[in-house]
Amino acid sequence: MMNAPAPFAQKTARPADRPAAAKVGVLLINLGTPDATDTRSVRRYLREFLSDKRVIELPRAVWLPILNLFVLTTRPRRSGEAYRAIWDEARDESPLRTITRAQAQKLGESLAPQGVTVDWAMRYGNPSIASRIEAMREAGCERILLAPLYPQYSAATTATANDKAFDALKRARWQPAVRTLPAYYDEEVYIDALARSLTGHLAALDFEPEVVLVSYHGLPKDYVAKGDPYCAHCARTTSLLRERLGWTEKRMPMSFQSRFGKAEWLQPYTDMTVKELGKSGVKRLAVVMPGFSADCIETLEEIAMQNGEFFHESGGEKFAAIPCLNDSREGMDVIEAMVRRELQGWI
C-alpha cells in the first residue's frame, strides 16, 4: 500500500523563485555620491537627494518650483567644483564610495566564516539600495540586516535609508526577513573608538590644539521640535566623548555644519564658531566629525578646506580636520560589534 502524501506538502513547498540555500545578508548604507563631477551628474544626484520628503519637509507645491527653477540651475555647478576638489581621479570616484566599499569588504571578510553576505549601497545615487537588495535576494539571502551607518538617528538619514529599502521590498513577491541597525550614538564601543582615533590623530599632528571642535551635520530646528531625537543624540555623544577624554566643554565645544536654505538650523553653526574662535585668539584648532562614518564632501571639502580657510582668515595659525573612523581598525571595531549584536539568533 502506498504511503499517503505528507499533509500540507503543497502549502509548505519552497516558492519557485526562492533559492535553495538560505543565507544571511548585511547591507551597509551610506548617504550617497554623484557618479561624476560634471554638472549633469551632480544635478541628477541633487535632484534625488533634495526631492526626498524626509530631507525637505516643505509642501511639494512650495518646494518643487524652488528646487527646479532655482536650486538645480545654480547649485550643481558649485557642488561639482567642490567634488572635484576631493575626487579620487585614479579610481574616478568620490572618497565616500571608496571608503564604504572598503568597509563592506572588511566586514565581509570578518563574517565570511559564519556564511554572511555583506554588500553596500547608497541612499542617493549608485549603487542603489533596491539593486543591492535584489542582488542579495538572488544570492539566497532570506534574512537581511539593513545597516544605515549613522551613529545618531535622524528621520532625514536613518529613516529615509530604511524607507528606501522597504519601498524596494514592497515590490517583491517573496520578502526576506528584515532587521534594521539602531543608532549607536552612546554605545561604549563607538565612544571608545572615537577616543582612540582622536587621540592617535592628535598625537600625529605637529601642534597641540587649544580647542577640539566637535562638528555634526546640521538639521532644521523645526525637525527637532517635531520630535526628531538627532540633537539629543549628538549632545550625548559629545558628552560621553568629553568624559572619556577628561576634557571640558571649553576644550571640546559642539557645533553644527552644512546648513541649507533660509530656515533656522541647529546652533551654534560650525562656520561661525570657527571664525569666532580665530577672532577670540585661539591659534591652534582641530575639528572632529563623529556623526560621519566615512569621510565625504562635508568633511574633506567643507571642513578641511572651507573652514580651514575661515580659521586662518580670522587669525588662526594651525588647523586640522581629524579623519572620520572610515575603515580604520577603530571604525571596523564599531561596525562589526554593532552588526554582530543585531545578527544574534541569525548566526
Contact 136, 119 (CB under 8 A): yes
How confident is residue 22, by pLDDT bands cut at 50, 70 and 90? Answer: low
Sign of the CA dihedral running 181, 183, 189, 195 = positive
The residues pairing with 214 across neighbouring beta strands, listed in sequence order, are 254, 288
The residue extents of the domains of the chain are 23-182+330-342, 188-321
pLDDT grade for 125, boundaries at 50, 70 and 90: very high
C-beta separation of 54 from 163 below 8 A: yes
For 255, the enclosing helix (H) or strand (E) is strand 254-257
What percent of the chain shows pLDDT beyond 90? 92
Cα 281 to the center of its chain, rounded Å: 34
Whole-angstrom distance, CA of residue 317 vs CA of residue 277: 11
Is pLDDT at 184 greater than 70 in this prediction? yes
Q: What is the pLDDT of residue 262?
A: 87
Mean per-residue pLDDT over the chain, rounded: 94
Tell me the mean pLDDT in the region 94-113: 98
CATH for 188-321, options being 3.20.190.10, 3.30.1360.70, 3.30.70.3190, 3.40.50.1400: 3.40.50.1400
Cβ atoms 114, 3 nearer than 8 A: no
Q: Is 1 helix (H, G, I), strand (E, B) or coil?
A: coil
Could you name the CATH architecture of 23-182+330-342? 3-Layer(aba) Sandwich (3.40)
Kindly tell me if the per-residue pLDDT of 17 is higher than 80. Answer: no
Q: How far apart are CA 347 and CA 338, in angstroms?
A: 14
Record the pTM.
0.92
Average pLDDT over residues 320-346: 98
Q: What is the pLDDT of residues 202-223, one digit of tens each?
A: 999 999 999 999 999 999 999 9
279 pLDDT exceeds 70?
A: yes
Q: What is the mean pLDDT of residues 165-194?
A: 96
Under DSSP, the state recorded for 307 is: I
* pLDDT confidence band for 324 (50 / 70 / 90): very high
pLDDT on residue 111: 98
DSSP-assigned states of every residue in 60-89: HHHHHHHIIIIIHHHHHHHHHHHHHHH-BT
Query: Which cell goes with 214?
Result: 566637535
Q: Are strands 116-125 and 141-148 parallel, antiparallel or unpaired?
A: unpaired
Mean pLDDT of 107-119: 97
Looking at residues 46-75, what average pLDDT do you find?
97
